[in-house]
Structure 1
Amino acid sequence: MIRAENNRSIGLKKTLVFYSGKAPKGVRSSWIMNEYRLPTADTDRY
């Protein structure tokens, strides 16, 4: 959760980590991707 100075929620951040190979024996890579989105309740305001 990303918050403004007044502690109001302004967005969400999800970190995705990439693995090579299949679960559960995959090897974690150094690649990551951050996904940002607006909170569902506030989406209509913007």
Structure 2
Amino acid sequence: MKYAKAKNAGVILGATNPIVLVSRADPAESKLYSLALAALVAQNN
């Protein structure tokens, strides 16, 4: 899918810790953004 050059990150919230949600086909940049978002959520939780 194309999202007009948007940056994507996948994180599941609601558990004790955030869960990073990525696909094997995701680019490394998307995986990095997902990890960074999960770290921010965990730090402020």
TM score, norm. by length of structure 1: 0.28
* Higher gyration radius (CA): 1
TM score, norm. by length of structure 2: 0.28
Indicate the structure with greater helix content: 2
